[in-house]
Copies of this chain bind each other. A is one copy, B any other.
């Protein structure tokens, strides 16, 4: 297979990572390909697909013609192993588990974009998904929210890329929970574009049903709830209860998460600004907005940025935080590339500092 990478090798850093993408034709997979073809240290060595084996990626996604014309292969870990060093797995929950176990057994480093290795407690996983079949490697998985787990990522063999909703929510709330400024029960009202549900055939996701409609779903229990609770709990070092309600927006990309907390002591917008700026001052992919400015999903579309606005309601103990990401970039593929950069000692922004896509 002809490598698809088009970036010139960075002479200052001649590292070359041979990467595989398992599940390259789903929405997360194709976004990985979009980012990796522009990464100077990556050679896209293997792309697998379940539905399009034997076709070129650019036949499935013609917008990649000329930049990635690789032929899609079956997900045969054994046969493909000699050709890559690092695997991104962008497969459905449950399916991913088995492939990841085989990859780890074959000595590969793995960045998994499914939910299979995000929850540390296999019993919690079992309750929200199904029995966990790879518990022996679960304990070693690192939760790949780079801003929180950078050190562990450097030596990680297996990374669990966070869910899209948790990424927006946790980054928005981290400074508050780290300082324990807010009560431990928190409301998160989140809104996502349609690609968060993946590329699949269903009446519910058809244009005629989604267009000109807005709805909540998973109200009584969405699978991202335990994930957010786990991470906020680790930050606060105490149990956290999350009231999480996701909504579906008639657009392709973007998540906006509006979190409502109650502060223990009154706080001002100005103090919040200081708190957030200090928490994220060295973070290349977190943008703390000035007081009174709010993020929009188009302001981060196509970028790896999480933009954050905040407001303490005067005369009350209420506080709100609005965070926006591109669900396919910072909420999935971009986060995964950021993880990779840390794992391989590359500058964290490598391949990710690009302008967004507007209008």
Q: List the interface of chain A (C-beta within 8 A of B).
A: 6, 8, 10-11, 27, 30, 33-34, 37-38, 61-68, 185, 187, 189, 191, 193-195, 199-203, 205-217, 219-220, 241, 243, 245, 247, 249-254, 256, 258, 260, 284, 287, 292, 294-303, 305, 307, 309, 311, 313, 315-316, 318, 320, 322, 328, 353-359
Contact = CB atoms under 8 A, between A and B. Distances in A.
A214 B63 contact: no
Nearest to A289: B62
Contacts of A213: 251, 254, 296-298
Contacts of A212: 212, 251-254, 297-298, 301, 359
A207 B260 CA distance: 30
A56 B30 CA distance: 32
Contacts of A296: 62, 213-215
Nearest to A315: B241
B313 A243 contact: yes
Nearest to A57: B355
Give how many copies assemble into the complex.
4
B203 A201 contact: yes
A63 B216 contact: no
B208 A206 contact: no
Contacts of A209: 199, 207, 298, 359
A195 B63 contact: no
A67 to B, nearest CB: 4
A302 B211 contact: no
Contact of A216 (B206, B322, B358): B322
A98 B211 CA distance: 34
21 contacts: A6-B353, A8-B8, A63-B300, A63-B302, A64-B355, A65-B287, A194-B208, A199-B209, A201-B201, A205-B207, A207-B209, A208-B359, A211-B211, A211-B252, A212-B212, A214-B249, A241-B318, A243-B320, A249-B250, A302-B357, A328-B359
B207 A250 contact: yes
A73 to B, nearest CB: 20
Contact of A219 (B62, B206, B307, B320): B320
Given A10-B8, A63-B300, A301-B63, A195 B359 contact: yes
Nearest to A310: B219
